[in-house]
Amino acid sequence: MAHEWQTKISRVMDGKVIIRGYSHEKLIGDYSYAEGVFLTLRGSLPTKAEARMTDAMLNSLLDHGFVAASVLAARYAASGNPQLVPGTAAGLLTAGSNTISPQHSAEFLERAVKQMRDEKLSLEETAKKVVAQVRAERRRIPGLGHPTHKGDDFRAVKLRAIAAECGFVGDKVRMFEAIHAEFLRSTGKQGICINVDGMLGALMSEMGFRPLQMAAVALLAVLPGIMAHVIEEIEEGKPLRIVRDEDCDYLGEPERPFP
Amino acid sequence: MAHEWQTKISRVMDGKVIIRGYSHEKLIGDYSYAEGVFLTLRGSLPTKAEARMTDAMLNSLLDHGFVAASVLAARYAASGNPQLVPGTAAGLLTAGSNTISPQHSAEFLERAVKQMRDEKLSLEETAKKVVAQVRAERRRIPGLGHPTHKGDDFRAVKLRAIAAECGFVGDKVRMFEAIHAEFLRSTGKQGICINVDGMLGALMSEMGFRPLQMAAVALLAVLPGIMAHVIEEIEEGKPLRIVRDEDCDYLGEPERPFP
Amino acid sequence: MAHEWQTKISRVMDGKVIIRGYSHEKLIGDYSYAEGVFLTLRGSLPTKAEARMTDAMLNSLLDHGFVAASVLAARYAASGNPQLVPGTAAGLLTAGSNTISPQHSAEFLERAVKQMRDEKLSLEETAKKVVAQVRAERRRIPGLGHPTHKGDDFRAVKLRAIAAECGFVGDKVRMFEAIHAEFLRSTGKQGICINVDGMLGALMSEMGFRPLQMAAVALLAVLPGIMAHVIEEIEEGKPLRIVRDEDCDYLGEPERPFP
Amino acid sequence: MAHEWQTKISRVMDGKVIIRGYSHEKLIGDYSYAEGVFLTLRGSLPTKAEARMTDAMLNSLLDHGFVAASVLAARYAASGNPQLVPGTAAGLLTAGSNTISPQHSAEFLERAVKQMRDEKLSLEETAKKVVAQVRAERRRIPGLGHPTHKGDDFRAVKLRAIAAECGFVGDKVRMFEAIHAEFLRSTGKQGICINVDGMLGALMSEMGFRPLQMAAVALLAVLPGIMAHVIEEIEEGKPLRIVRDEDCDYLGEPERPFP
C-alpha cells in the first residue's frame, strides 16, 4: 500500500540523498545556490544562461529598507518578540497580492500574449486593447509603478540587460514594454516605471517558471534584507515599538453609554 | 505498539468527541468560551470564580490600537498580503519577551514569594531585597510601566478588583504591590504603574496556571483587536504601506567603490 | 493633516480606552468574551441572542485532536521549535480554503438564496438547480462531509438547535438543509453530513457577519485546541518528529549522472 | 530630530539603492547570491574563499524530504491552506532549538575553545572535560547524531572538505572532532556522526558569523526544499491531511459526567 507521504523531490537514504535524481553531495560546493534552487524547484539542472539569470534575480531584491512593508512588519514583530525566526516569518507573510509577487505580472502578460496569438494582432495592437480594457475596468496593471523609483527601476533595467545577454528577452518582455509604452501614451502620465516585481514576472515567464515557482524565487530574493533588518532590530532597535496615541486618528464612534 | 501521536486532550470518535473527559456536545451552548478555554488548556472545568476571572482576563486586552507592536506588524503584513490569516499570524508572532507575555511577571513573582518563604522575610523586606537586586543588575521588573497609561493601567486595576471579589488576591498579587511601592519609593519615580501584562501574570499565578498556559490566555485576549485591525486594513487601509526614504535615517557606510 | 494610521476600532487615551465607543474598563468583568469579540469585530454590542449564539460558536471547535491538519502542523512546528507562539502560528496558518473557513459555505448559500429570490423559485427548486450545477462542474459543496463524523456532525446539530432557540434559523440554514437533502437524494450517497464549518457559515450569515468576520470567529474557536496541543508537544512530545525514509514513497527521477 | 526608523543596511534613493555602501545595481549579475547574502548580513563583501564556503553552505540543506519536521509542518499547513506563503512560513517556524540552528553548536564550541585557552589545556584534555561534564549533566551535545545518517552525515563531510581547501578548519572544527571522538570513546556508542547543523555552526564560527547571522544562513539553506514541498503539496497532495482517530492514542481522562 502506498504510504501517506509521497514526493518527487528527494530520496533520503542512510548516508546519501538524491535531489531530483542528482547526488546532493556533489551539489554542495560544485554547484551554486542559484543552481541548487533551480534544480530543487524546477526539477532539472539549469543551463549556464538559466543559472546566470537565476543568480541575478536572486540578488535583485536584496534590501529596500523601510520602503518595504515586509521589513516594517518584520521589525515591529521583532521589537515585541526579539527572535530571528518569528520576525522573519512576519516579514514573509507580507508577500501577497500587493507586493513580492511577480506571478501576477507573469499571468497578466501570458494572457496578453495569448490574446495576441489568438486574435492575430501585433504587439502594439494588443497593448492598445489590453490597456484600454484595464483602464475601462479601473484596474491596476501589475508590475507598473514604484513609490521611490520614478524614472526607471534600476533593478528592472539591470535584469533586462542581463536577460538580453542570456537570451531571455522574448514575447512576454516585449509585450510588457509595449503595454508600458501604451500606458504612458494613453494616460499622459510620467514617472511610472516597469518595476522589479513586474520584470521578474516577465523574465521568469520567459524561462518557463510556473507561478508558485516564481513566488518562491521572489521570497528567497527578499529574505536577506528581511533577516538583516530583524537582526538589526534585535541588536540595535527599540524594545517595543508603538505609535503614540497622539499620532493616530480615531474615526470611530464617539464615547457612548452602555445600553 | 504505541502510535506516533498520543494526547490527553481529546478523544475523537464517529459522532462524538470528549474533551478532557467531558462531552464536547454539551460544552457547546451550556458552557461559556471562558470555561471551554479553561477546560481545554488546564484539563479540568473551572469553578464559578475561576470562570468569572478567566472571562474577565480574556476581555482585558481586546484592543489597544496602534499603541501595540502586534497591531502594527499585523497591519503592515495585511497591507502587502490582504488576507486575514497571514496578517493575524504576523500579529501573533509579535508576542514575546517584550509584550503579551504575562508569564514573565508570574515567574518573577513566584521567585520572590519563594525567597520570602525560604528566608522567612516579610513582604516589605522581600520587596526591598528584590528591588535592590534588580536595580543593581540594571534589569527591568517585568510588568511595571506603560507608554500611555502613566497613572494607573485601568485594565490592571479592574482585574485586581474582580480578583478581590473572586478570592484570587494572594501572595503573588500582594508581593507585586509591595515591589511596585518599593520601586517607586526607592527610585523616586512617578508614572510607573503595574501594567495589565503584569497583573495577568500575578493573577494567573494565583489561579495555578503554568507559564505556557498563561501565554495562551494572553494570545486569545489580544486576538480580537489584532483581527479587527487586519480586517480594517484589508477593507479600508492602504494597498502597500511603506515609510518614505526621506523619513528614515541611514547610518551605515557611505557609498564606496567595489574592490 | 491626517496621520498615517487611522482606525474606527478603539481610541487610546492616558488612563482610558474606548472600544467601538464603549469604555473598555466596563467590558472587563461585566461582559463576556463572546460579547467583547462581537463588539470588537462587528462594531456594536450583541443582543442576548447574538451573545448566546456567539458563545456557542466559539465553543464549537475546541479541539478535534489529530483529525485536524492545523494540530499536526502546529505539533510538527513545536517539535522543532518548542515555543508556544511559533507553533500556534503554524497551526493558524493551516486555516484556508480546505479547513476552518466557514465563509466559503456562507458565500455559497448567499448566492443560492439570491438565486432563489431573483428567479422566484422554491427552496427545493433552487436546491435542485444548485446541486445539478455543482455536480456538472465537478465541484465540492463547501460545508458537506467529514472524515470522522459520518452520520451527523454533532457540533453542527447542536449549533442548529441553539440557533432555533435564538431565532437564527432563516433562509440560509433552510437552503443548506434543502441542498444537503438534494445532494443525498441525487447522488444516492450516505454518510455525508452538514459539517460544523458549513453550519457556522450558515449561522453567521444569518447573523449578519461579513466573510472576514466569520473567519475571525472560526480562528478563535480552533485556537484553544491548537494551543493545548502545542503545550502538550512541548511538555510531553518528541524533540524532533520526522517520518522515517522507509515510511515514505519516492516517486521522482531515479539517480542520474550530472551532465 | 532622529526619525523613528534608522538602519545601517541600505540607503534607498530615487533611482538608486546602496547596500552596506555598495551599489545594488552592480550586485545584480556581477555578484552571486552567496555574495549578496554575505554582504547584506555581515556588512562587507566576502573574500573568494568566504564566497565559495558560503555558497557551499547555502546548498547543504537543499532538501531532506519527510525526515524533517519543517517539511511536515509546511505540508500539513498547505493541505489546509493551499498557498505558498503561509505554508512556507509554517515550515520556517519549525526552526528552533531542536533543528536548523547551527548557532547552538557554534556557541557550545566557542565555550569549549575559550575553556581550552583559559585553562591552558590541550584539545584532547578539553574534550575529555567537556564530554564528562555534558554526560554528568545528562545534556545533549548540539550537532551530534542524525536519525538517518548513522555512519557519516555526508553533508558535514563535504562541507569539511571544502573548508579545508578554503582555509576554514581551525580551533572550532578541531575541537568538534576531538569532542566527537571523545564522546564515541567514552560512551562506546557507534552510529553517532557530526551532523550538518553542527558542522555549519563550527564553520560559521570559524568564519566570524554571529549566532543570528548563522541562523539566517541556515534558514536560506532549508527554504528551497520547504518551498518545493509546499508547491508539491498544493499541486499533487491531498486537500486536507489528517491522522485518523484509530491511528492515535488517547491517554487522557475517561469520559466523565459534568459536575
pLDDT in tens, C178-192: 999 999 999 999 999
Q: What interhelical angle do D211-236 and D33-42 show, nearest 10?
A: 130
- A96 and D86 within 8 Å at the Cβ level: the answer is no
Cell of A148: 521611490
| Gap between the terminal Cα atoms of chain C | 63
Measure CB to CB from residue C243 to each of D72, D81, D97 and give the nearest one. Answer: D72
* H-state helical runs in A137-245: 154-166, 171-187, 196-206, 211-236
Q: What's the pTM?
A: 0.98
What pLDDT sits at residue D1?
Answer: 61
How is residue B81 annotated by DSSP? S
Q: How far apart are CA A64 and CA D259, in angstroms?
A: 60
Q: Hunting for cell 438543509 — which residue is that?
A: C177
Instruction: Provide, as residue numbers in chain B, all residues whose Cβ is less than 8 Å from the Cβ of D245.
Output: 11-14
Select from A188, A170, A29 the least CA-distant residue to A109.
A170
Percentage with pLDDT > 70 across chain C: 100
Instruction: Provide, as residue numbers in chain B, all residues whose Cβ is less than 8 Å from the Cβ of C64.
Output: 10, 12, 17
Measure CB to CB from residue C240 to each of D69, D243, D244 and give the nearest one. Answer: D69
- A242 and B66 within 8 Å at the Cβ level: the answer is yes
For residue D233, pLDDT beyond 90: yes
What pLDDT sits at residue A56?
Answer: 98
What pLDDT sits at residue D2?
Answer: 83
For residue C221, pLDDT beyond 70: yes
Q: Hunting for cell 576531538 — which residue is that?
A: D178
Q: Hunting for cell 500606458 — which residue is that?
A: A183
Q: How many CB atoms lie within 10 A of CB A135?
A: 13
Q: With an 8 Å Cβ cutoff, is A94 touching chain B?
A: yes
Band the pLDDT of A2: cuts 50, 70, 90: confident
| Gap between the terminal Cα atoms of chain D | 63
Q: What is the mean pLDDT of residues C237-241?
A: 91
- C85 and B96 within 8 Å at the Cβ level: the answer is yes
Question: φ and ψ at D94, to 5 degrees?
Answer: -80, -15
What ipTM, to 2 d.p.?
A: 0.97
For residue D34, pLDDT beyond 90: yes
Cell of B59: 476581555
Looking only at the bridges linking them, the beta strands covering B22-23 and B248-250 are unpaired
Q: What is the mean pLDDT of residues D223-234?
A: 98
Helix (H) or strand (E) holding A56: helix A48-58
Q: With an 8 Å Cβ cutoff, is B66 touching chain A?
A: yes
Q: Hunting for cell 521522482 — which residue is that?
A: C252
Residue D47: burial class (beta carbons within 10 Å; 0-12, 13-18, 19+)? middle
pLDDT tens column, A191-225: 999 999 999 999 999 999 999 999 999 999 999 99
Q: How far apart are CA A238 and CA D1, in angstroms?
A: 16
pLDDT tens column, D116-149: 999 999 999 999 999 999 999 999 999 999 999 9
Q: With an 8 Å Cβ cutoff, is D251 touching chain C?
A: no
pLDDT tens column, D158-191: 999 999 999 999 999 999 999 999 999 999 999 9
- D11 and B43 within 8 Å at the Cβ level: the answer is no
- C89 and A89 within 8 Å at the Cβ level: the answer is yes
- B89 and D89 within 8 Å at the Cβ level: the answer is yes
pLDDT tens column, C116-169: 999 999 999 999 999 999 999 999 999 999 999 999 999 999 999 999 999 999
- B242 and A80 within 8 Å at the Cβ level: the answer is no
Distances, alpha carbon C86 to alpha carbons B92, B237, D92, D202, in Å:
9, 27, 9, 27
For residue C215, pLDDT beyond 90: yes
Measure CB to CB from residue C22 to each of A12, A251, A258 and give the nearest one. Answer: A258
Q: Residue A51 pairs with which residues in a beta bridge?
A: none
For residue A1, pLDDT beyond 70: no
Can you list the positions of beta strands (E) in A83-180?
A: none
For residue B95, pLDDT beyond 80: yes
Query: How many Cα neighbours within 13 Å face the side chain of B112?
Result: 33
- D81 and C67 within 8 Å at the Cβ level: the answer is no
pLDDT tens column, B59-79: 999 999 999 999 999 999 999
Q: With an 8 Å Cβ cutoff, is B245 touching chain D?
A: yes
Q: Residue D249 pairs with which residues in a beta bridge?
A: B6
| Averaged pLDDT score across all residues of chain A | 97
For residue C2, pLDDT beyond 90: no
Q: How far is A111 from chain D (nearest CA, A)?
A: 21
Question: φ and ψ at D99, to 5 degrees?
Answer: -165, 155
Instruction: Provide, as residue numbers in chain D, all residues whose Cβ is less than 8 Å from the Cβ of A12.
Output: 64-67, 148
Strand, coil or helix: A258: coil
Distances, alpha carbon B111 to alpha carbons A106, B104, B176, D217, in Å:
59, 11, 12, 38
Measure CB to CB from residue A69 to each of B80, B89, B93 and give the nearest one. Answer: B80
What pLDDT sits at residue C1?
Answer: 61
Instruction: Give the nearest chain D residue to C98 (CA atoms).
Output: D80
What pLDDT sits at residue B238?
Answer: 86
Q: With an 8 Å Cβ cutoff, is D190 touching chain A?
A: no
Q: With an 8 Å Cβ cutoff, is D85 touching chain B?
A: yes
Instruction: Provide, as residue numbers in chain D, all residues whose Cβ is less than 8 Å from the Cβ of A158.
Output: 25, 28-29
pLDDT tens column, A137-164: 999 999 999 999 999 999 999 999 999 9
Instruction: Provide, as residue numbers in chain D, all residues whose Cβ is less than 8 Å from the Cβ of A10.
Output: 62-65, 225
Residue of B72, B212, B222, B247 best to disrupt the C interface, most CBs of C under 10 A: B212
What pLDDT sits at residue A238?
Answer: 86
Cβ neighbors of C251 (< 8 A, separation 6 or more) are A6, A7, A8
Over its C-alpha atoms, chain B yields an Rg (Å, rounded) of 22
Select from A72, C14, A91 the least CA-distant residue to B72.
A72
Question: φ and ψ at A144, to 5 degrees?
Answer: -110, 140
pLDDT tens column, B33-65: 999 999 999 999 999 999 999 999 999 999 999
Instruction: Give the nearest chain B residue to C222 (CA atoms).
Output: B37
Q: With an 8 Å Cβ cutoff, is B217 touching chain A?
A: no
Provide the residue type at A222 as one letter. V
pLDDT tens column, A94-127: 999 999 999 999 999 999 999 999 999 999 999 9
Q: Kindly list the partner chains of chain D, i.e. chains with 3 or more CB atom pairs below 8 Å.
A: A, B, C
Q: With an 8 Å Cβ cutoff, is C66 touching chain A?
A: no
- A66 and B100 within 8 Å at the Cβ level: the answer is no
Measure CB to CB from residue A26 to each of C2, C81, C258 and give the nearest one. Answer: C258
Q: With an 8 Å Cβ cutoff, is C242 touching chain A?
A: no
Query: Count of CB contacts below 8 A, A vs B?
Result: 147
Residues C35 and C44 sit within 8 Å (Cβ to Cβ): no
Q: Hunting for cell 501570458 — which residue is that?
A: A110
Q: How far is B16 from chain A (nearest CA, A)?
A: 25
Query: How many Cα neighbours within 13 Å face the side chain of D224?
Result: 25
Q: Residue B6 pairs with which residues in a beta bridge?
A: D249
Q: What is the mean pLDDT of residues C217-246?
A: 96
Band the pLDDT of C238: cuts 50, 70, 90: confident
Residues B196 and B156 sit within 8 Å (Cβ to Cβ): yes
Residues D109 and D176 sit within 8 Å (Cβ to Cβ): yes
pLDDT tens column, B152-193: 999 999 999 999 999 999 999 999 999 999 999 999 999 999
Q: What is the mean pLDDT of residues C193-205?
A: 98
Q: What interhelical angle do C196-206 and C171-187 show, nearest 10?
A: 150
Q: How far apart are CA C38 and CA D44, in angstroms?
A: 52
Band the pLDDT of B1: cuts 50, 70, 90: low
Q: With an 8 Å Cβ cutoff, is D117 touching chain A?
A: no
Measure CB to CB from residue A5 to each of C6, C43, C243 and give the nearest one. Answer: C243
